[in-house]
Structure 1
Amino acid sequence: MNKFPITHQGAKKMEEELKQLKHMRPEVIQAIATAREQGDLSENAEYHAAREKQGFIEGRIAELENKISRADIIDFTNLHHDTVTFGATVELLDEDTNEKKSFSIVGEYESDISKGLISNVSPLAEELIGKRVGDIVEVNTPRGLVSYEILSIQYKELNI
């Protein structure tokens, strides 16, 4: 069973979703029972919708339980590295556009590029890990090879 890194916040979010899904189980079971009482199941849309919802919930519960059991929760909030590691929030300068960007390196199950959360196995994160402020990294992107200068490295609580 392969472990994978995850932040404390990411693990907490998974556990909250699992709790919520388990809380939904009885209401879905009741909806199936109510729909069964209506007669012919082959043409009963409510029954089929409730069964589909139950299948989704049970599948997601199994997936979350598996992930949680394999999670290696890493607390990086007390780290003060001068190099980029898991959990770092890195401010970068795009050398072509002079645009500043900020990314936090998290586990692949909690990454969300719209929030600036990149997976530790993404090409950008793999280039950043081990680097220091002032270093230049080059990453292949859809627009071609992009060079970034590392402006700052912080270890702080993330909003996941």
Structure 2
Amino acid sequence: MAEVSYYTKEGLEKLKEELQYLKTTGRANISAAIAEARDKGDLSENAEYDAAKEAQGLHEGKIAQMQETLANARLLDESKLDVSKVLALSIVKIKNVKSGATMSYQLVSESEADMKAGKISVTSPIAKGLLGKSVGEVAEITVPAGKIEFEVLEISR
């Protein structure tokens, strides 16, 4: 069984829009490439045709994967979430105990993760270490560089 993923309203809409694009414009572009390659003659020795057909297969695979992701997507009502503990969709302000550096992250699903926007996946080592923690608690998190201690300063939605 596929894993259930939790999304914000914006993230779920973005996923639906991308799937719709792949099903319409994406398929049309691939069909045009196949037709153009087919018009170039003998299909048995036509590398362009083979490449277009392979691209079609990869495209259809991506559509199937996105449909499965969407079927297992759940929309979280952020207004009903507990703000006393770090949960999926929490915005958490943390401090590196050793260096004193502070940062804020929102814990989102893998497909919504965007480090530049301050959104990290709930499956990342830092997010996993923070889940369930309350303000004032220290989480010791193992990352590729070693162990880091983060103190939870603030939790919001």
Q: TM-score surpassing 0.5?
A: yes
Gaps of 5+ in 2: none
Tell me which residue corresponds to 2:107: 105
Tell me which residue corresponds to 1:84: 86
Taking only aligned residues, the RMSD between alpha carbons, in angstroms, comes to 2.0
Q: Which protein has the bigger helix share?
A: 2
Structure 1: how far apart are the matches of 2:32 and 2:129?
Answer: 51
Q: How far off its partner does 1:121 sit?
A: 2.9
Code of the residue aligned with 2:22 in structure 1: it is L
TM-score (norm 2): 0.85
Secondary structure (helix, strand or coil) at the match of 1:152 reads strand
Confirm or deny that 1:38 pairs with 2:40: yes
TM-score (norm 1): 0.84
Note the 1:3-152 alignment, pairs <5 A: 3-23=4-24, 24-76=26-78, 79=81, 81-152=83-154
Structure 2: how far apart are the matches of 1:41 and 1:80?
Answer: 61
Report sequence identity in percent. Answer: 39
Q: How far off its partner does 1:80 sit?
A: 5.8
Q: How many residues align?
A: 155
Structure 1: how far apart are the matches of 2:33 and 2:145?
Answer: 50
Gaps of 5+ in 1: 156-160
* CA distances 1:93-152 after superposition (whole Å, capped 9, x unpaired): 111111112111112333334443222233322221222222111101122211111111
Ranges of 4+ aligned residues in structure 1 off by more than 3 Å: 77-80, 112-115
Q: Against the structure 1 CA distance between its residues 48 and 77, is the aligned structure 2 distance closer, same or farther, given a 3 Å change threshold? A: farther
